[in-house]
């Protein structure tokens, strides 16, 4: 069983124009194990994306306090590619487009990066795995020979992120607002993909605004983030409660002094 | 230079070579122009001090004894191989020869088919254009002639392998590929230039294509001359009415190189597509002018140049789209892009549009910079290590030109050279 731990994590970003540092995460604590699906919900601007980007090691996020541990080892000093090879995966909101690199070529390179030099995936095994996953995600075979994300629609890009997830088979997948901009059919396909990964060797951290996605990917644990930290943790019912009462309701119930970005006053 | 002695040597050598009096006279006139004129200039690239000819030049024809490893070819393949001044292999299946296709040594062609060759040689690139074009004709010592008669569609690529013999020093390599395609014909040519040996030598390489009415030429070149070779090249197509010439050049030379690509759209409705990629390494200097000139109405020109710079190298791409007065409804597009892979390299991408007509379409794009960090980060976030990700992004960046080369074998060869350069190129 693998473990991902976030301990008292404080993260700041620097404003490009004013050069002023602003603290976004103010002490996040989270522990999850493979075999579990966790959801993080929270209002806009509360630091959910900052948390996922920081776990993955994306540039521009400075950890000012705390630690992130994968199976007990701190990963803070590791570059993004090493974190990925150790089993982390972040499905992006805005994946890059790369002309001249086919989807298939990219997927093979990503799979092989996690395997030893003398144990690279064979063409036959790769194609078999690819075919199986394309089918599962209702994607056309032609997607694999297209250039990576180039000219893909929003929905195609999201599906392509999930295809990567299924091909790479990470230990922990962070899905950052994978539901945004998806119609209900695409949402179901994405959920089907993620659910197919469920098992003892896979954990996922799902970041979302809305409860709807969680009807299709039922989480074991739901965390609510406000003001840069996790303020409440519960079971799937917590998401349903939020859907009814809204974040302001929960804030007031917890007696928190946090201004929500979308507050009217 | 002792001009009198040089001209006497030139005359004697050309005569001893058994050349017709008219050619000897043209060489003499070219020599006079060479001796009197100045070096050509290129925007933002100075090569005025390059030793592109000897202090006391001499016309020499030397039988090469060096033998390259020639890959086996299929029965139906069309191929000519020259090592230095020696034609070592000509393979033209009977079916094409019977239809009048000619693929042969240039001097043999001058001898056997003077009507086809004599007036055509350096009619598109004029010897009196500049010092280096004059030098080329005066000291021309090897060449290839390809002729495709009216209406003949050659469906096998014509492979032309030019091997510079640098197994010994002081071997001049002044080679000329002359291609004439008659109306309605089509052909695809794969040129491969390489160097055998490591001696420091010069190369003056030219390609002239006369694409006559409605003919179609696809010309790709994989240039892989040695580290010790100093190269001047000029490749020009005259593109007649409704004719089309597509260039795809992979410039992978190891040594300093300066060159011109020219597409002259002389006929109405002609089309020129000029793609070129270059990878520069070490302390190499490379300067390229890629020009499309629209003379005819309704002509289409496209330039796409992509360069990758490593080490301390210097690469200049000038894209020149010129629309002459009267070329109504011309369309001139171009892009010139370079990727800088090291802080010490110097790259330049200059779009130059010269437009003297109103109802035309013209567009350009240029970029100079490092690999896109967003792309790099995306690949790395999937576990791909930085060097592998870099190669992928670079190959993607060059792909539009690589994909234009019709032969898979050549594409793979080009990618292999590219990978090698990317691995060793910062030295």
Residues B179, A64: Cα–Cα separation, whole Å:
68
B396 in contact with chain A, both atoms CB, cutoff 8 A: yes
pTM above 0.95, yes or no: no
CA distance A215 to chain B (A): 28
Name the 3-class secondary structure at A200: coil
CA distance B252 to chain A (A): 19
Does residue B293 form part of some domain?
Answer: yes
Residues of chain A found within 8 Å of residue B391, distances taken between Cβ atoms = none
Residues of chain A found within 8 Å of residue B381, distances taken between Cβ atoms = 56, 58, 80-81, 84, 90, 92
- pLDDT at position B15 is 97
Residue A193 has pLDDT above 80, yes or no: yes
What is the pairing mode between strands B158-165 and B186-196?
parallel
Contacts of residue B24, Cβ cutoff 8 Å, sequence gap at least 6: B11, B14, B15
Task: Check CB contact under 8 Å for B395 and A80.
Answer: no
**Per-residue confidence band for A93, with pLDDT thresholds at 50, 70 and 90:** confident
Residues A204, A211: Cα–Cα separation, whole Å:
16
Task: Check CB contact under 8 Å for A81 and B392.
Answer: no
Cβ atoms of B143 and B106 within 8 Å: the answer is yes
Find the CB nearest A80 among B380, B398, B400: B380
- Find the angle CA(B292)-CA(B232)-CA(B224) to the nearest 5 degrees: 95
Name the 3-class secondary structure at A90: strand
Task: Check CB contact under 8 Å for A168 and B383.
Answer: yes
* Nearest alpha-carbon partner for B311 in B376, B227, B377, B411: B227
Find the CB nearest B386 among A81, A147, A164: A81
- Mutate which of A109, A146, A176 to test chain B, going by most B C-beta atoms within 10 A? A109
How many angstroms separate the first and last alpha carbons of chain A? Answer: 47
Residues of chain A found within 8 Å of residue B379, distances taken between Cβ atoms = 98, 106, 109-110
Residues A225, A231: Cα–Cα separation, whole Å:
6
Size of interface A-B (CB pairs under 8 A): 78
Q: What is the mean pLDDT of each run of 10 residues along chain B (427 residues)?
A: 96 96 97 96 96 96 82 91 95 97 97 96 97 98 98 97 94 97 98 96 98 98 97 98 98 97 98 97 97 98 97 97 97 96 94 95 94 94 95 93 89 92 79
Q: Domain residues of chain A, as ranges?
A: 3-254
Residues B145, B151: Cα–Cα separation, whole Å:
18
- Mean pLDDT in residue range A160-178: 96
Does residue B376 form part of some domain?
Answer: no
Residues of chain B found within 8 Å of residue A96, distances taken between Cβ atoms = 372, 374-375, 377-378
Residues B220, B251: Cα–Cα separation, whole Å:
10
CA B143 to chain centre: 14
Is residue A139 classed exposed, middle or buried when 0-12, 13-18 and 19+ CB atoms within 10 A define those classes?
A: buried
Task: Check CB contact under 8 Å for A80 and B400.
Answer: no
**Per-residue confidence band for A265, with pLDDT thresholds at 50, 70 and 90:** very low
CA distance B87 to chain A (A): 38
- pLDDT at position B84 is 94
CATH of domain A3-254: 3.40.50.300
B384 in contact with chain A, both atoms CB, cutoff 8 A: yes
Strand partners, A21: A14
**Backbone φ, ψ for residue B72 (5° rounding):** -60, 145
The CB density around residue A156, as the number of other CB atoms within 10 Å, is: 17
Residue in chain B lying closest to A58 (CA): B377
B415 in contact with chain A, both atoms CB, cutoff 8 A: no
Which residues of A lie closer than 8 Å to B, measured between beta carbons? 56, 58-59, 79-81, 84-85, 89-90, 92, 95-101, 105-106, 109-110, 113-114, 147, 164, 168
Residue in chain B lying closest to A94 (CA): B378
* Nearest alpha-carbon partner for A11 in A80, A76, A88: A76
Task: Check CB contact under 8 Å for A101 and B385.
Answer: no
- pLDDT at position A181 is 83
Does residue B120 form part of some domain?
Answer: yes
Strand partners, B179: B146, B209
Residues of chain B found within 8 Å of residue A110, distances taken between Cβ atoms = 379, 382-384
Task: Check CB contact under 8 Å for A89 and B382.
Answer: yes
Question: What total of structural domains would you count in chain B?
Answer: 1
Does residue B393 form part of some domain?
Answer: no
Find the CB nearest A109 among B373, B377, B384: B384
Does residue B69 form part of some domain?
Answer: no
B380 in contact with chain A, both atoms CB, cutoff 8 A: yes
Does residue B407 form part of some domain?
Answer: no
Residue in chain B lying closest to A112 (CA): B384
- Find the angle CA(B411)-CA(B417)-CA(B420) to the nearest 5 degrees: 140
Contacts of residue A212, Cβ cutoff 8 Å, sequence gap at least 6: A179, A187
Residue A206 has pLDDT above 80, yes or no: yes
Does residue B135 form part of some domain?
Answer: no
Two structure tokens written together for A163: 């295809």
Residues of chain A found within 8 Å of residue B400, distances taken between Cβ atoms = 99-100
Task: Check CB contact under 8 Å for A89 and B400.
Answer: no
Query: H or E segment at B349?
Result: strand B346-355
Residue in chain A lying closest to B394 (CA): A100
- Mutate which of B381, B399, B411 to test chain A, going by most A C-beta atoms within 10 A? B381
B378 in contact with chain A, both atoms CB, cutoff 8 A: yes
Domain that holds residue B253: 75-128+140-369
Task: Check CB contact under 8 Å for A109 and B388.
Answer: yes
Does residue B101 form part of some domain?
Answer: yes
Cβ atoms of B219 and B209 within 8 Å: the answer is yes
Task: Check CB contact under 8 Å for B396 and A85.
Answer: no
Query: H or E segment at B300?
Result: strand B300-309
> Tokens 């576990």 label which residue?
B383
């Amino acid at each position: 069983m693998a473990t991902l731990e976030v301990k008292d994590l404080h993260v700041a970003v620097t404003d490009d124009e004013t050069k002023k540092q602003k603290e976004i995460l103010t002490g996040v604590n989270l522990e999850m194990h493979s075999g579990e699906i966790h959801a993080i919900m929270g209002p806009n601007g509360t630091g959910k994306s900052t948390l996922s980007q920081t776990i993955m090691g994306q540039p521009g996020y400075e950890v000012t306090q705390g630690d992130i541990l994968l199976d007990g080892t701190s990963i803070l000093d590791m570059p993004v590619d090493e974190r990925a090879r150790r089993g982390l995966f972040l499905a992006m909101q805005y994946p890059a487009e790369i002309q001249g690199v086919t989807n298939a070529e990219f997927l093979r390179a990503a799979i092989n990066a996690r395997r030893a030099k003398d144990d690279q995936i064979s063409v036959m095994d790769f194609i078999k795995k690819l075919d199986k996953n394309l089918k599962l995600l209702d994607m056309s075979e032609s997607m694999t020979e297209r250039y990576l994300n180039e000219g893909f629609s929003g929905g195609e890009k999201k599906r392509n992120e999930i295809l990567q997830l299924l091909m790479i088979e990470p230990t922990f997948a962070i899905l950052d607002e994978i539901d945004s901009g998806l119609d209900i059919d695409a949402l179901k396909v994405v959920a089907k993909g993620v659910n197919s990964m469920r098992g003892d060797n896979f954990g996922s951290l799902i970041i979302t605004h809305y409860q709807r996605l969680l009807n299709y990917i039922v989480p074991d644990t739901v965390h609510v983030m406000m003001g840069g930290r996790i303020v409440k943790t519960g079971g799937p019912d917590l998401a349903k409660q939020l859907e009814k009462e809204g974040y302001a309701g929960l804030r007031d119930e917890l007696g928190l002094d946090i201004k929500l970005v979308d507050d009217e006053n | 230079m002792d001009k009198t002695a040089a001209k006497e040597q030139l005359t004697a050598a050309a005569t001893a070579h058994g050349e017709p009096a008219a050619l000897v006279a043209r060489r003499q006139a070219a020599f006079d122009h060479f001796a009197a004129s100045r070096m050509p200039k290129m925007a933002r690239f100075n090569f005025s001090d390059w030793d592109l000819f000897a202090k006391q030049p001499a016309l020499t024809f030397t039988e090469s004894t060096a033998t390259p490893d020639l890959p086996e070819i299929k029965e139906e393949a069309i191929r000519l191989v020259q090592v230095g001044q020696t034609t070592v292999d000509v393979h033209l299946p009977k079916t094409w020869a019977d239809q009048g296709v000619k693929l042969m040594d240039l001097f043999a062609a001058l001898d056997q088919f003077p009507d086809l060759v004599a007036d055509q040689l350096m009619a598109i690139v004029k010897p009196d254009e500049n010092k280096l074009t004059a030098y080329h004709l005066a000291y021309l010592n090897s060449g290839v002639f390809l002729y495709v008669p009216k209406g003949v569609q050659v469906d096998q690529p014509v492979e032309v392998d030019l091997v510079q013999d640098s197994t010994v020093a002081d071997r001049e390599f002044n080679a000329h590929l002359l291609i004439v395609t008659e109306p309605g014909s089509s052909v695809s040519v794969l040129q491969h230039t390489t160097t055998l040996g490591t001696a420091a030598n010069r190369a003056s390489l030219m390609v002239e294509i006369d694409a006559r009415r409605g003919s179609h030429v696809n010309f790709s070149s994989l240039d892989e001359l040695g580290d010790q070779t100093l190269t001047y090249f000029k490749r020009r197509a005259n593109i007649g009415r409704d004719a089309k010439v597509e260039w795809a050049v992979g410039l992978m030379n190891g040594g300093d190189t300066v060159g011109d690509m020219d597409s002259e759209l002389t006929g109405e409705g002609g089309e020129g597509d000029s793609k070129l990629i270059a990878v520069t390494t070490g302390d190499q200097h490379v300067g390229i002018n890629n020009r499309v000139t629209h003379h005819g109405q309704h002509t289409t020109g496209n330039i796409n140049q992509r360069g990758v710079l490593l080490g301390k190298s210097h690469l200049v791409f000038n894209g020149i789209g010129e629309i002459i007065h009267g070329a109504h409804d011309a369309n001139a597009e171009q892009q010139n892009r370079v990727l800088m892979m090291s802080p010490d390299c110097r790259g330049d991408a200059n779009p130059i549009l010269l437009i003297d007509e109103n109802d035309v379409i013209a567009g350009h794009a240029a970029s100079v910079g490092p690999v896109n960090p967003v792309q790099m980060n995306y690949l790395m976030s999937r576990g791909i290590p930085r060097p592998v990700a870099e190669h992928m992004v670079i190959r993607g960046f060059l792909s539009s030109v690589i994909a234009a080369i019709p032969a898979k074998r050549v594409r793979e060869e080009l990618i292999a050279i590219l990978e090698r350069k990317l691995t060793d190129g910062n030295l």
